[in-house]
Amino acid sequence: GIQVEQSPPDLILQEGANSTLRCNFSDSVNNLQWFHQNPWGQLINLFYIPSGTKQNGRLSATTVATERYSLLYISSSQTTDSGVYFCAVERDYGGSQGNLIFGKGTKLSVKP
């Protein structure tokens, strides 16, 4: 099956710093999403980005589908950005079943 690798696994930042999270995937995809899991376990949709670039406030994401990677940028980080960031993909093989395959996540801690 498709492999999804996220890096780094852990990241500690000082408030105000910028960061880049990476997601590599091993096969063609027709869906890629970034999520933030808060301390209560809820998954918050950040970006639906199978290709191209999107921005939402201090967050932006870029997916280069032909090179099989996606990047999530966090600028001017805040303590509320802490949590686990997941990349998830849906493989494109014609007979798509619709479900997402998740990476192992990047655990981000932003210190005041």
Partner 1 sequence: SAVISQKPSRDICQRGTSLTIQCQVDSQVTMMFWYRQQPGQSLTLIATANQGSEATYESGFVIDKFPISRPNLTFSTLTVSNMSPEDSSIYLCSVERLLDTEAFFGQGTRLTVV
Between the alpha carbon of residue 65 and those of residues 2, 27, 36, 54, 70, the distances in Å are 14, 9, 21, 14, 8
Minimum distance, C-beta of residue 4 to partner 1, in the bound complex (Å)? 9
Minimum distance, C-beta of residue 99 to partner 1, in the bound complex (Å)? 5
CB burial of 20-45 (b: ≥16 within 10 Å; e: otherwise) equals ebebebeeebebbbbbbeeeeeeeee
- Count the Cβ atoms, other than its own, within 10 Å of residue 99: 10
Question: Of 5 and 17, which CB lies nearer to partner 1 in the complex structure?
Answer: 5
Spatial separation of the C-alpha atoms in residues 85 and 104, rounded to whole Å: 9
Question: Of 1 and 112, which CB lies nearer to partner 1 in the complex structure?
Answer: 1
Question: Of 25 and 35, which CB lies nearer to partner 1 in the complex structure?
Answer: 35
Q: What does the binding site for partner 1 look like in residue numbers (CB under 8 A)?
A: 30-31, 33, 35, 40-43, 45, 48, 86, 88, 90, 96-105
Minimum distance, C-beta of residue 76 to partner 1, in the bound complex (Å)? 26
Question: Of 7 and 99, which CB lies nearer to partner 1 in the complex structure?
Answer: 99
